Structure 1
Amino acid sequence: MKEFQKKFSESEYTRKSSVAVIYAILAAIALNMFWQPGNIYASGVTGIAQIVTTLIGKMTGQVPPVALIYYVLNVPLFILAWKRISKKFTVFTMITVTLATIAIQFIPVTMLTPDPIMCAIFGGAINGFAIGFALKNGISSGGLDIVAITIRQITGRNVGLINTFINGMIAFTAGYLFGWEYAFYSLISIFVTGKVTDLIYTKQQKMQVMIITNKPDAVIEEVQERLRRGITILHDAEGAYKHDKKTILFTVITRFEMHTLEEAMEAADPSAFVSIADNVKILGNFYDPGMQ
């Protein structure tokens, strides 16, 4: 058993490390091939790092590397993640941020298009995919993702929505300091980033499931074996057509777990009636395996 757990741990480490590498490359491409050439301020800590480097350059005449400022700004957020989310989550986040820092430093700034709107859209889409892909695989891209996840644990709001609000303040600051056209293009990119993040990262999208079945014990066993979810049981329901006795089961899953639920129902009771309500709001504790 211990050997199996060790192998699983090594497998998880390899998978998440691979995801971190992919995120780092995509994030660097978004910054160095779209945002910086288009004079667009990025979302999250990357955008704050751009603002800080610009201010330092204006004051001293020497512009420090964006990658260095990006990493320094992430350090206090590592501490927040360590205390509020989980230690394992924080370790993988540190790996991700370190790899992103290296990629940003070594991938050259290259102008692929002079059109700032195209830079905003493509940079936002690439970055949003990178963030969503990272979160979907249980790691964070660092920065304001940590703040957004912490807020989501308290309020239940979507990660993309929280990031859009925070990043809107970044764009406003950039516009106030350096010109409103920069804020306009940055807002476009931030909006695209938030939408693509929510499209890819579906773990925060809750779905209420109602199962009407003649085999409640089999369904409960199968669902709880595959998904760590609580189930509420209503006995002695009656079908209107045949007046036969049925049991109603209620649970809440994430959209990410939908396929697993379908497999569980196929194994336990293929003839059960399953009704699903999309995007429900949850008050109270809801287990999130990605944050362990």
Structure 2
Amino acid sequence: MRTMTQKDRLKEFVIRVLVIALSSLIVAINLKSFVAAGDLFPGGFTGVARLIQRCALEFGGVELPFGPINLALNAIPAVISFKLVGRRFTLYSCLTILLTSIFTDLVPAFEITEDILLISVFGGMISGFAGCLCLWVRVTSGGTDFIAIALSERKNVDAWTYIFCGNVVLLFIAGYLFGWDRALYSMLYQYACTQVIKMLDPDGRRATLLIVTGRETAGGVCAQIQETNHTATLMEGVGLYNGEPCVIIYSVVSDGEVRSLARKIRQSDPKAFVNVLRTQRVVGKFYRRPRD
């Protein structure tokens, strides 16, 4: 595979920083418009920070800034991610947290709509889109994502279930203190956010490729698959239409790799037949591009 040059690394760095800044700004605007207007509680440490702010304002009459609370909550998860996932991934993610904290305290509060249902749905969709921007450049918005990614990639532990339980506890506390309607609308907000991330995150989906090609061109097709660090299984077959022998190549790749890989396969064999199937679940070894 081609090694990255200094120009490529600089380009990747600039793109990452710009996308991180854009994502952080979108999150800040969403928090100061939809989330604040609906008095909602997002999931993760952002929701915890919101809950601390609301408790301080409601019971102490003190309006706490979002930034210091968010930074303090993310300190320990950042250390865990630095040790288990990697330095660059953690530093880029910390940049996301820092910019989000700064933008949230600088952006003025404003209302787009007073309809709580619209606020919950569209606020969640905007939050999910901002999260996907980070995932596209292989960073995270921090908080519980630090812990989930570290445990899933290094310790093979599915932490998302525990994070979901933590969010349920957060909403229960918020509902008890500030009204169950806000907690239920916050749940709708989180659901909309999750659905957008599932739909747009290319690394979260898998695709099965069934490729029919000739014996002479099978090697070139397999070479294109191996360039993605995935492997394949070859099966001998016979074409029913012309009765000629053929090779069936079976492989599972990330959904984001399908388009470019299919184009390269067609370049290796213009007559190749490629069938792309949606894969719900993969059990066993599957190559995942390192985040660091």
* Counterpart contact for 2:45–2:73, Cα < 8 Å: yes
Write the distance in 1 (CA, Å) between the matches of 2:195 and 2:239.
42
* Counterpart contact for 1:39–1:116, Cα < 8 Å: no
**TM superposition shift of 1:86:** 2.2
Write the distance in 2 (CA, Å) between the matches of 1:46 and 1:179.
19
**TM superposition shift of 1:59:** 5.0
Distance 1:165 1:198, change over 3 A: farther
Distance 1:184 1:194, change over 3 A: same
Write the distance in 2 (CA, Å) between the matches of 1:108 and 1:142.
23
Q: Residue 222 of structure 1 aligns to which amino acid in structure 2?
A: Q
Q: Residue 6 of structure 1 aligns to which amino acid in structure 2?
A: Q
Counterparts of residues 166-245 of structure 1 (less than 5 Å): 166-214=166-214, 215-225=217-227, 227-234=228-235, 236-245=236-245
SS at 1:37 equivalent:
helix
Aligned to 1:144: 144
Distance 1:151 1:173, change over 3 A: farther
Aligned to 2:44: 44
Write the distance in 1 (CA, Å) between the matches of 2:248 and 2:28.
50
Write the distance in 1 (CA, Å) between the matches of 2:189 and 2:162.
15
Q: Residue 281 of structure 2 aligns to which amino acid in structure 1?
A: K
* Counterpart contact for 1:168–1:190, Cα < 8 Å: no
Aligned to 1:258: 258
Write the distance in 1 (CA, Å) between the matches of 2:142 and 2:259.
28
For structure 2, list consecutive stretches of 5 or more residues without a partner in the other structure: none
Q: Does 1:248 align with 2:254?
A: no
1:62-105 Cα shifts (integer Å, max 9, x gaps):
23212221111111111222223222211110111111111111
Aligned to 1:16: 16
* Range 77-86 or range 129-138, more displaced: 77-86
Q: Residue 115 of structure 2 aligns to which amino acid in structure 1?
A: D
Write the distance in 2 (CA, Å) between the matches of 1:25 and 1:258.
31
* Counterpart contact for 2:262–2:274, Cα < 8 Å: no
SS at 2:145 equivalent:
helix
Aligned to 2:278: 278
Q: Residue 219 of structure 2 aligns to which amino acid in structure 1?
A: D
Aligned to 2:134: 134
For structure 1, list consecutive stretches of 5 or more residues without a partner in the other structure: none
Write the distance in 1 (CA, Å) between the matches of 2:11 and 2:173.
43
**TM superposition shift of 1:165:** 5.8
Write the distance in 1 (CA, Å) between the matches of 2:273 and 2:163.
38
Write the distance in 1 (CA, Å) between the matches of 2:24 and 2:225.
36
SS at 2:37 equivalent:
coil
* Counterpart contact for 1:45–1:73, Cα < 8 Å: yes
Write the distance in 1 (CA, Å) between the matches of 2:187 and 2:112.
20
* Counterpart contact for 1:133–1:200, Cα < 8 Å: no
Q: Residue 77 of structure 2 aligns to which amino acid in structure 1?
A: L
Aligned to 1:118: 118
Write the distance in 2 (CA, Å) between the matches of 1:279 and 1:291.
22
**TM superposition shift of 1:238:** 2.5
CA RMSD of aligned residues (A): 2.4
* Counterpart contact for 1:156–1:281, Cα < 8 Å: no
**TM superposition shift of 1:8:** 1.6
1:112-160 Cα shifts (integer Å, max 9, x gaps):
2222222212211111100012102211111122234345543679x7x
Write the distance in 1 (CA, Å) between the matches of 2:244 and 2:158.
39
Aligned to 1:73: 73
Distance 1:176 1:138, change over 3 A: same
The percentage of counterpart residues that share the same residue type is: 26
* Counterpart contact for 2:38–2:116, Cα < 8 Å: yes
* Range 181-190 or range 243-252, more displaced: 243-252
SS at 2:221 equivalent:
helix
* Counterpart contact for 1:131–1:140, Cα < 8 Å: yes
Q: Residue 43 of structure 1 aligns to which amino acid in structure 2?
A: G
